[in-house]
Structure 1
Amino acid sequence: MHRLVIEVDLQLYELLRRAAKDHHLSLEGECLRRLQGADRQSRYLQALLADLRADEEQRRASDDQVA
């Protein structure tokens, strides 16, 4: 299993944490809910997801070159 460490602005973290609590979700669940359009689209989360996907594509490309 891979571990992902993300630095998030404290104010954004608190907003996400409160929203997760209000919706009876985990922090991860709240982020996914927002990304799936159940709430207004978060540009920050969309950018974060794009960065994560790009990093994963680079890692896979690097793994393919090694193999």
Structure 2
Amino acid sequence: MVRVILEIDMPLYRLLKVSAETNRLSLDEECCRRLAGGERRSCYLQALVAELRAEDEQRRANPR
């Protein structure tokens, strides 16, 4: 398993945390729910996933 470390600004983190608590989910589950098309989609998280996928594709295309 690959470990991913994200840098998220504090206001966004707080909003995600409150939403997770409101929905009785973990922070991970809340992020996955939003990415899966839950009630409120997070453009930030979608952009982050797209960036991570692009980096992964580039890494696979150019093995060292």
Percent identity among equivalent residues? 53
* 1:1-67 mapped onto 2 (5 Å cutoff): 1-63=1-63, 66=64
Q: Secondary structure at the match of 2:3?
A: coil
What is the number of equivalent residue pairs in this alignment? 64
TM-score w.r.t. the length of structure 1 is 0.82
The alpha carbon displacement at 1:26 in A equals 1.3
Work out which of the two has the higher radius of gyration on C-alpha atoms and give 1 or 2. Answer: 1
- Bigger helix fraction: 1
- Partner Cα distance (1:40, 1:17) in 2: 14
Tell me, which stretches of 5 or more residues in structure 1 are unaligned? none
Tell me, which stretches of 5 or more residues in structure 2 are unaligned? none
Q: What is the CA RMSD across the aligned residues, in angstroms?
A: 1.3
TM-score w.r.t. the length of structure 2 is 0.85
**Structure 1: 4+ residue segments shifted above 4 A:** none
